[in-house]
Amino acid sequence: MKRIIHWAARSALLFILLPAFVLPARAQTSVTLQEAIEMARDNSQRIRQAYEDVRRSSLAVSEGQAGRLPTLSADGRYVNNVQTPVIFLPEGSPFGTVLRTGMRHNVNLNAQAAVPVYNAQLNRSIDLARAARNLNDVILEVTEREVEIEVQRAFLSGLLTREARDVLESSYQTRVDNLELIRSMYEEGVSPEYDLIRIEVQVENMQPELIRARNDHEGALNYVKLLTGIPVETDISLDGSLADLFASIPNIVFEADFSDNPSVVQLEAQRELVEHQIAIERAAYLPSLSAFGNYTIQSQSNDLDITDYNWVTSASVGLQIAIPIFDRSRRYRVEQAEVDRNQLEIQHDFLLESLRAEFQTTSSRLQQVEQSIEAQRRNVAQAERGLRIARVSYENGVHSVVDVNDAELALTEARLNYTNVLSEYVNAVLDIENLLGRSLSGS
């Protein structure tokens, strides 16, 4: 029975450690947080779409500005008068009551030019296009910020799952060492068989938890690959640690200033857009003035020998004014735009109140987590010391294997709690940065 248990424990250990010694290690690509953010910016489909929206709105501004330039057009016309046109004359005319005019072939070439002199609606439409471009610029910045936050959280999750995996692997190795210690003591007859069986069962029971931790880390790495555009088959490792991230965050006293908050900035840009929509509807009440010019070349003949035609030219220039007198529907359009503006103001006020409440909650959470970090660090040191004492005491016959197991379990929980509290702190900082719309550390 002892040999069977001994063989089973060694087989389990061999199953865990064999891939590290037999399989050739594949080269890993180390990725820093800043590199991950830059790759995500370059490969994000959301950022690309937002950038194309900016391009389209810029072209819309150019289109509106082109409306201020002169327009030129030309047309030509050929008419074959199968029967020449007639003019009806009053009775008593010396030419009779019907007089045919013109010739069979009629050629007419005409050129027109027009330029707006004053058009308030055109000017307001250009302002509206600029406001739309400004809104798309804001959306692009917001999208870039959202992608950056998403990558930071994914990177943070990768670090957390990696360090949790390392803690469990360290705990597993400690239990394996305990197993070897107890087995040697059992073989020497100074440790009961029950202690050996108990530790062997604990080693076996920990394997599923260790496999789950490895799978969690692999899933976190795959999510980082997805966001950064790294091929999923590429082996990567994350450069840095939770302690490094925590140490890089300065002690900053931040105020509840939401002027740079992405949602606030976007809502203000939308409100500016609505203001220009109101202005363009009101500009439709004003008259518009434009200048025009025409130049015509024409000739008629009964044959198609155009080289012998008598070409006649005519030209004219003038001004055209359009005065809107009555259009009730235009007033309703103005009122609808004013309703949209009022709704945006209500949304803006509610958003600020929501941000203040969320900021207060997140700030309190950040302070609570910050206070527990040092306590968790001391707790890890105490748990490590407790495990050393328990192992020495067990070797000297003072404590039982249960005490050793409890000490090892307490150390594992303390290490996991410490990594979790570091992760919670960095996450809370990211929440604050997202609310304020800017980086607290300036990086």
* pLDDT tens readout for residues 197-242: 888 888 888 889 999 999 999 999 999 999 999 999 999 999 988 9
Q: What is the pLDDT of residue 348?
A: 92
Contact 103, 38 (CB under 8 A): no
pLDDT band with cut points at 50, 70 and 90 for residue 54: very high
Q: What is the pLDDT of residue 19?
A: 42
What mean pLDDT comes out for the span 404-408?
81
User: In the structure encoding, which two tokens stand for residue 319, read together?
Assistant: 């001004």
In CATH, the architecture of 2-69+120-286+327-436 is Up-down Bundle (1.20)
Q: 3-state DSSP call for residue 163?
A: helix
Please report, rounded to a whole number, the percentage of residues in the chain having pLDDT higher than 90: 48
Q: Is the pTM of this model over 0.85?
A: no
Cα R_g (the chain), whole angstroms: 41
Question: Which contacts of 60-64 are long-range, i.e. CB under 8 A and separated by 24 or more positions?
Answer: 60/129, 60/132, 60/133, 61/126, 61/129, 61/130, 61/133, 63/129, 64/122, 64/125, 64/126, 64/128, 64/129
Q: What is the pLDDT of residue 27?
A: 61
pLDDT band with cut points at 50, 70 and 90 for residue 246: confident
Question: What's the CA gap between 267 and 123, in Å, rounded?
Answer: 24
Give the CA distances from residue 212 to residues 169, 208, 215, 423, in Å, rounded to whole numbers and listed in that order. 12, 6, 5, 19
